[in-house]
Structure 1
Amino acid sequence: MSTTLLPNPGLGTFRLKGDTLKQVIHDALAMGYRHIDTAQMYENEQDVGAAIAESDVPRESLFLTTKVWHDRLEPASLKASVQESLDRLGTDYVDLLLIHWPSPEDEVPMADYLNALREVQQAGQARHIGVSNFTIAQVDQALDILGPEALLTNQVEVHPFLQNRDVVAHCHSRGLTVTGYMPLAVGKVMEDATLKHIAEDHGVTPAQVALAWTRARGVVTIPSSTRRDHLAGNLSALDLTLSEDELEAIAALERGERIANPGFAPDWD
């Protein structure tokens, strides 16, 4: 299992914008969150940057992630898009820069955009680089292009109903951290009888059980919430230890329920 430089949990910001997002970031930073995850496609980098600028937390104490959208993968466009992201975020660098999705139908060759990604890193605009929504074969191809220790993470959908076991195991075997997005399956974990039962035994919520299960698998998680009590609960969930029987019960919830599956997605494992 890989160790990670990624603070766990992170704060996901998908679908959050404006004053709501700024308040969430202020609340999260006050609670001790230090990892903020955004993306060009979220159209909220400027709000994220404004909230960070207003915060008392120094920039160097934060771990900031953004992602390049798949329509900006041609090398010159990728580099221009990164500068645009940095300008919106109000920073000279991000801590982690990801390719958000592999190029649909390999329209842009992987070697072209990954070498451009590395050049952005070498220019000091990204401390670490990684990928998102890459299959096992694509992870191997990426490491063949860049070298075995070049990528920090593969960010993929991980929750009790889509456990992505093969991808998680393979990334760990290749030294990559796995970052799991949508860890609460857009709220569906709250309705599951198994998770509710385990939660009752521990005096916590099903969401906290799902996050504790994610941590037990060695996966960094980036849940999103607009509520202070949920933000606090997500943080404290990582102190919850589940028994082997409970972990096995959650493992049995796998049903291949993929939520993020756009038409340009790769052929999933």
Structure 2
Amino acid sequence: MLENDAHGLGFGTYSLTGEDGIDALVTALEAGYRHLDTARLYGNEAEVGEAIDRADVDRDELFVATKIAHFEEPEKTPEYVRNGVEESRSRLGIDTIDLLYHHWPRNRDDIETVLPVFNELVETEAVERVGLSNYTPSDLELADELLEPSPYAVQAEMHPYLPQEKLRGAVRDRGAFFVAYSPIAQGEVFEDTTISAIADERDTTEAAVSLAWLRSKDGVVPIPRSKTPEHIRSNREALELDLTDEAIERIDDIDRRLRCEDPEWMQWEE
């Protein structure tokens, strides 16, 4: 479902809580977003479920992704994962989770405990597809040994200042989608002279240019997040924005490097 334009630009939901969060989610659904990305740790699965209920969109059109077993969550036992997924399904108001990610593994033990349970969840049809969030290439090799269904998607931070060539190659080798969070580098692209110049040339926004650049990369699906109705709608300009090869190369050549999400304990593989 991620391969077509309706799902080729998802909607991130981090920090969208309460009535304001529901309003933003309904706006996104009414604007045409069909791929919603949440997580148990975000504390807003109920809001996502309520927005799905309020919006005039058929469930069959939606692609709902959530995540479990974040490094800040309690001990990751198999029973914890099973119970947590049942709670997520209930809060989201859906029978089957379209895509379930293992969220921010802290160590090898996390991966070895959680992924076998994901196999069970696919067998029981509680989950249709599995994903891996903030995995390194080495983590993906371990996942290869543990997962029976291949990962459908791998989610990580990606934007013009973090192009993720090595990880994208590892994801592409597995035939998975690369789902890019923080796709506008938490607002940093608005101050970038190269991206601003391209936005002016195309009469669009810096956010749309950054999202279109991401979509130009094979198998990459960005998931922007916004609370502002105007931005929620304008970000979808990226679906109709075909950057020239020259514009893509100018963005590729930006030499700034920035990682917005960088826990001290995480050992990245650049």
TM-score band, normalised by shorter chain: over 0.9
**Alignment RMSD (CA, Å):** 1.7
| Count of aligned pairs between the two proteins | 264
1:17-56 to 2 correspondences below 5 Å: 17-56=17-56
Deviations 1:102-127 (A, max 9, x none): 2x23343x233111011112111111
Residue 10 of structure 1 contacts residue 33 of structure 1 at CA under 8 Å; is this kept in 2? yes
User: Matches of 2:120 and 2:3 in 1, distance apart?
Assistant: 23
Counterpart of 1:159 in structure 2 is 159
**Structure 1, 205-214 or 118-127: larger mean CA deviation:** 118-127
Shift in Å at residue 4 of structure 1? 3.6
Give the corresponding residue for 1:171: 171
Residue equivalent to 2:185: 185
Alpha-carbon distance, 1:254 to partner: 4.3
Calculate the TM-score normalised by the size of structure 2. 0.92
Task: Pick from 97, 103, 106 the counterpart of residue 100 of structure 2.
Answer: 97
Give unpaired runs (5+ residues) of structure 1: none
Could you say which residue in structure 1 is the equivalent of 2:133?
Answer: 132
Query: How big is each residue's C-alpha offset from its partner over 1:136-168, in whole Å with a ceiling of 9 and x where there is no partner?
Result: 111122123225x52101100000111111111
- Name the CA distance, whole Å, in 1 between partners of 2:36 and 2:163: 23
1:93 is matched by which residue type in structure 2? T
- TM-score (structure 1 length as normaliser): 0.93
Q: Which residue of 2 aligns with 1:77?
A: 80
Conserved 8 A contact 2:67-2:101: yes
> Residue 264 of structure 1: CA displacement?
4.0
| Structure 2 residues without counterparts, runs of 5 or longer | none
Secondary structure of the structure 1 residue equivalent to 2:214:
helix
Deviates more, 1:174-183 or 1:233-242: 233-242
Q: Distance in 2 between matches of 1:173 and 1:226?
A: 35
1:237 Cα deviation from its structure 2 partner: 1.1
SS at 1:126 equivalent: coil
Compare 73-82 and 188-197 and name the one that shifted more: 73-82
Work out the CA distance in 1 between the residues paired with 2:29 and 2:36: 9
Identity %: 34
Aligned to 2:238: 237
* 1:101–1:265 Cα contact (<8 Å) kept: no
Matched, 1:248 2:270: no
Contact map agreement 2:30 2:55 (CA 8 A) in 1: no
The amino acid that maps onto 1:125 is A
Judge conservation of contact 2:30–2:56 (CA < 8 Å) in 1.
Answer: no
Aligned partners of 1:20 and 1:196: how far apart in 2?
Answer: 30
Do the aligned partners of 1:93 and 1:126 also contact (CA within 8 Å) in 2? yes
Instruction: Check 1:105–1:129 CA distance in 2 against 1; reply closer, same or farther (3 A cut).
Output: closer
Larger relative CO (CA 8 A, sep 6+): 1 or 2?
1
In structure 1, distance between residues paired with 2:130 and 2:136: 17
Letter in 1 for 2:51: A
